[in-house]
Structure 1
Amino acid sequence: MNFDYAKDSKEQRPYEHYLAAYKDMDPNEISERTGISYDEESRKFTVCFMGSTYLVSFPDYEISHVEDEIGVYPLEEAMNAKIFIIRYLAERFAAPFSGKFLTYHDVPWGEVYFRQFQGRCLMRFAFSYGNKLEHFQKVMEHLGAEKSTEGDCSYKLEFMNNLFIKFILWEGDDEFPPSSQILFSDNFAVSFAAEDLAVAGDIAINMMKAVERKLF
């Protein structure tokens, strides 16, 4: 499956930086800090990522998926997804989800980066699925997302271990273009910066489009 991501030094250098840090860490400390389970015998973490389960080896960071019905595995291929996870393992920590969702504006520095997020995620999502609600619905159900009540069609997706993104669409018509909202569980804002949330939205939309190509 082909994912849209850059294969240049802009991503390769950060990846190498986090990989070097990851290799020097204590895997049990990583597990305790992030809440991601680690098996000492196999030397692998178990990561839940957009409906699929992955085994992530330590210290070499080799990634393999557990076969499932989704059939699309970005963590094995997409560099932005690989960087997101290894950065979480190397630097971040788990935080509890209170049940509350935040807009991008609500996140610290979200106002500063909103224009980038708007183009990269909100507009792309709206114009990808705002006139294809049936496609969006089938894609999200294929990913095991939970249907929500907001907008004309909305779903809550577990992006990774206990971190959720809510995707909301309002259908376009002859007079108005489609519009969207993307909300993040409040523990996202504890563990990640505003720029990271834009990356998460981008990764998730790439996943939707890859699943759409598979289904349709």
Structure 2
Amino acid sequence: MTNPKEVFNLPAQRNFELATKRTLELNRSHFLAVQDFDKISRQAGAVLQPPFIHLKYFRFRVEIDTRNAAVTSPDTSLSPREEALILHYLLKADGTPVSREQISFKELPEGANYQPVFYNRVLKSLIALYIANPAKLNLSAISLGGKKAEQADVSFLFQALPRLPLWLVFWQGDDEFPPEGNIIFDRSISRYLDTEAITEICQNLNRRLTEKTF
């Protein structure tokens, strides 16, 4: 199998749409080269029913066609970036059990270097939504499959992919400290996604939560 660590990296191009297209094509090429779809399905916690691999992406059912690497969902429209991400997950997954040990983004490989980018791209708007409209955040989280968790002041557990839990947590703050938020991961996450792809799935969570309307 090709090195999955290289699968999700975007080409260094200004044209984001072209870069996304090339990333998706690369992931499809690597996926179609797989010889044992049963093995990668088991390692990813997915189900193989030839010619399709079935898994859940947040609350959405997803099918991956092993004949052409098409990634589709009957429940939602998937962006090309999400398609590439799901293929990356299948290629990188090695079956490591969920450790139940939580870590933050800065504890990921190279995470400390990219923490400011992660905050600006992901956490900043989520914290703003929590401050401005906690009721909308609650409805959006539940709509996306989130379950209330017993952490911080407000928290939700999302099963983003079969072996990839994410915890979204918020603290109300007080007179001395402003409200804060974070996304927490299981320590096993780097056996399923590289750090760039982890940023991507958190951006997708952010987008789907902040854009959801009722």
**SS of equivalent residue, structure 1 residue 96:** coil
Equivalent residue for 1:203?
A: 204
Per the normalisation by structure 2, the TM-score is 0.83
Shift of 1:37: 1.2
Q: How big is the shift at 1:174? A: 8.8
Percentage identity across aligned positions?
Answer: 17
Contact conserved, 2:41 with 2:48, CA < 8 A, in 1?
Answer: yes
Paired residue type of 1:65 = S
**Does the CA contact (< 8 Å) of 2:44 and 2:162 recur in 1?**
no
Alignment of 1:185 with 2:198, yes or no, is no
C-alpha contact (below 8 Å) 2:126/2:210 kept by paired residues: no
Residue range with higher mean Cα deviation, 136-145 or 196-205 = 136-145
> What residue number does 1:35 align with?
45
1:62 equivalent in alignment to 2:62: no
Q: 2: CA distance between counterparts of 1:140 and 1:20? A: 34
C-alpha offsets along residues 22-78 of structure 1, whole Å, 9 cap, x if unaligned?
1222222322432321112xx0011111112112211212333345xxxxx2xx431
Name the structure 1 match of 2:30.
Answer: 21
Q: Deviations over 1:134-180 (max 9, x none)?
A: 11111112223221222332101110102111111234789865321
| Structure 1 position 181, deviation (Å) | 1.1
Q: In the comparison of the two structures, how many residue pairs are matched?
A: 199
After TM superposition, the structure 1 = structure 2 runs for residues 153-168 of structure 1, keeping only pairs within 5 Å, are 153-168=154-169
Please state if 1:46 is matched with 2:54: yes
Aligned counterparts of 2:114 and 2:67: Cα–Cα separation in 1: 34
User: TM-score with structure 1 length normalisation?
Assistant: 0.82
List alignment gaps of at least 5 residues for structure 2: 1-14
Residue-by-residue CA offset, 1:88-131 (whole Å, 9 max, x unaligned): 22333232112221111222211111111111111121113322
Per the alignment, residue 142 of structure 2 pairs with: 141
Name the residue aligned to 2:20: 11
Shift of the 90–191 alpha-carbon distance from structure 1 to 2, 3 Å rule, reads closer
Residue type at the aligned position of 1:47: L
Which residue matches 1:3? none
Distance 1:124 1:94, change over 3 A: farther
Structure 1 stretch 173-182 or stretch 50-59: which is displaced more? Answer: 173-182
SS of structure 2 residue aligned to 1:130: helix
Partner of 1:95: 96
1:180 & 1:165 partners in 2: Cα distance? 13
Give ranges in structure 1 of 5+ residues lacking alignment: 1-5, 68-72
DSSP-derived class of the 1:88 partner: helix
